[in-house]
């Protein structure tokens, strides 16, 4: 197994796919800290320290996780429900931080992560403890919200059946993502005083959007009827009723009980397939350099899932649809979606 390939994957695809949730958390905690300093007139903290503490604890946490996954093989994996809950909580936290930055209401200040009092007393500089604690805690907690390529890397660590190789896989991947996160963290921190206040407003809007994206992704992954995808599908169904020439025949879709879906880093192709009800379906997932969360395939309404154990792995998902309608599928984070039409 070439660790350099894994490192490059983290440096490119991995860093970008993880940025939506984890990058938003990092930016939110730094922006909250900057806002507090602006109010107190403080300008003597190290702008790089929070980002570095976040990345160090993240690297340690994922390396340990890789060791555990490799040691126990397929016996241990992150529960899908836990991942969805943590992703939803992360999005909710980012929205709260955004509201705090926008001064919507003083109550949102209490939701900002602060070090416990006993820890503060043991550290000489209270401002330094705040620089360290919140980013470091979030860095370690990101193992509960694996994003994008992380799912594929965890599958590789499990399949390695070696604790040291599993640790090396996760460590190499996280090392690759560091430049992207370091850039986001430092840029967030080192803006000049004249731009800080204005930046806080821009950061709040960006963090709010990232929070909504994270929450929507968790709702999609959970198969919720209130996600943007569900609303979009419902709207399309209503429109199709009043559209004479919108029959599925014009969509050039072949009905088959043995459909094939190619899994890539950019999602699923095709992302719309048609099957017949009452007959067994053998859905074949074919990996084509799948280094994103698309490798973790989910059908929430049927409680089915399949995770590719490598970027070019093949999995078969079997089920028998009992009624006509649309069945949504997605990746584990709700980023990539598709529909199975049952006729």
Does residue 259 fall inside a structural domain?
yes
Please check whether residue 227 lies inside any domain of the structure: no
Helix pair angle (163-189, 24-40), 10° resolution: 40
Query: Does residue 226 lie within any of the structural domains?
Result: no
pLDDT tens string, the chain, 343 residues long: the values are: 467 777 887 787 666 666 655 766 677 676 666 666 666 665 555 657 777 888 899 999 999 999 988 887 655 556 677 778 877 877 787 788 778 777 787 887 776 655 455 544 543 343 344 556 777 887 887 887 766 567 667 766 776 667 887 888 899 989 988 887 777 666 655 554 455 556 567 767 776 876 788 788 888 888 777 777 666 655 554 444 444 444 444 445 667 899 999 998 788 999 999 999 999 999 999 999 886 778 889 998 898 989 887 788 899 999 999 999 999 999 887 888 899 999 9
Q: Are residues 207 and 236 in the same domain?
A: no
pTM assigned to the model: 0.58
107 shares its domain with 41:
yes
Structural domain including 184 reads 3-221
- Domain of residue 288, CATH code: 2.60.40.420
Does a structural domain hold residue 101? yes
Residue where one domain finishes, among candidates 169, 201, 221 = 221
Are 162 and 178 a contacting pair, CB within 8 Å?
no
Is residue 75 situated within a structural domain? yes
177 and 238 assigned to the same domain: no
* 192 and 297, same domain (yes or no): no
- Do both 110 and 249 map to the same domain? no
Q: Give me the residue label for tokens 């939506």.
A: 20
Residues 239, 211 share a domain? no
Query: Are 313 and 238 part of one and the same domain?
Result: yes
- 212: Cα separation from own chain's centroid: 12
49/132 same-domain check: yes
Q: What is the DSSP string of 109-170?
A: GGGS----HHHHHHSS-HHHHHHHHHHHHHHHHGGGS--THHHHHHHHHHHH--HHHHHHHH
Domain check: are 330 and 259 in the same one?
A: yes
Report the run of H or E that residue 296 belongs to, with start and end. Answer: strand 296-299
* Same-domain pairing of 117 and 26: yes
Same domain (yes/no): 139, 201: yes
């Amino acid at each position: 197994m070439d660790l350099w390939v894994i490192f490059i994957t983290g440096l490119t695809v991995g860093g970008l796919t993880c940025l939506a949730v984890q990058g938003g958390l990092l930016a939110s905690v730094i922006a909250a800290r900057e806002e507090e300093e602006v109010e107190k007139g403080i300008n003597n903290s190290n702008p790089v320290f929070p980002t570095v503490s976040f990345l160090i604890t993240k690297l340690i946490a994922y390396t340990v996780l890789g060791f555990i996954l490799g040691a126990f093989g397929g016996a241990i994996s992150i529960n899908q429900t836990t991942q969805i809950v943590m992703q939803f909580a992360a999005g909710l936290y980012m929205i709260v931080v955004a509201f705090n930055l926008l001064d919507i209401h003083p109550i949102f200040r209490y939701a900002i992560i602060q070090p416990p009092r006993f820890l503060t007393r043991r550290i000489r500089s209270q401002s330094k403890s705040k620089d360290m604690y919140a980013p470091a805690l979030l860095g370690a907690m990101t193992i509960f919200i694996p994003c994008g390529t992380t799912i594929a890397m965890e599958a590789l660590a499990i399949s390695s059946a070696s604790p040291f190789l599993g640790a090396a896989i996760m460590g190499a991947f996280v090392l690759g993502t560091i430049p992207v996160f370091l850039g986001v963290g430092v840029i967030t921190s080192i803006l000049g005083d004249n731009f800080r206040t204005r930046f806080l407003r821009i950061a709040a809007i960006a963090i709010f959007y990232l929070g909504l994206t994270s929450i929507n992704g968790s709702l999609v992954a959970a198969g919720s009827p209130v996600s943007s995808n569900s609303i979009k599908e419902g709207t399309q169904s209503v429109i199709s009723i009043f559209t004479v020439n919108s029959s599925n025949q014009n969509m050039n879709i072949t009905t088959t009980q043995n459909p094939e879906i190619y899994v890539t880093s950019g999602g699923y192709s095709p992302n719309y397939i048609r099957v017949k009800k009452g007959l067994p379906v053998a859905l074949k997932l074919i990996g084509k350099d799948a280094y994103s969360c698309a490798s973790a395939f989910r059908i929430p309404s049927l409680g089915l899932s399949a995770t590719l154990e490598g970027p070019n792995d093949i999995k078969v998902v079997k089920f028998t649809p009992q009624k006509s309608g649309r069945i949504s599928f997605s990746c584990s984070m709700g980023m990539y979606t598709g529909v199975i039409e049952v006729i």
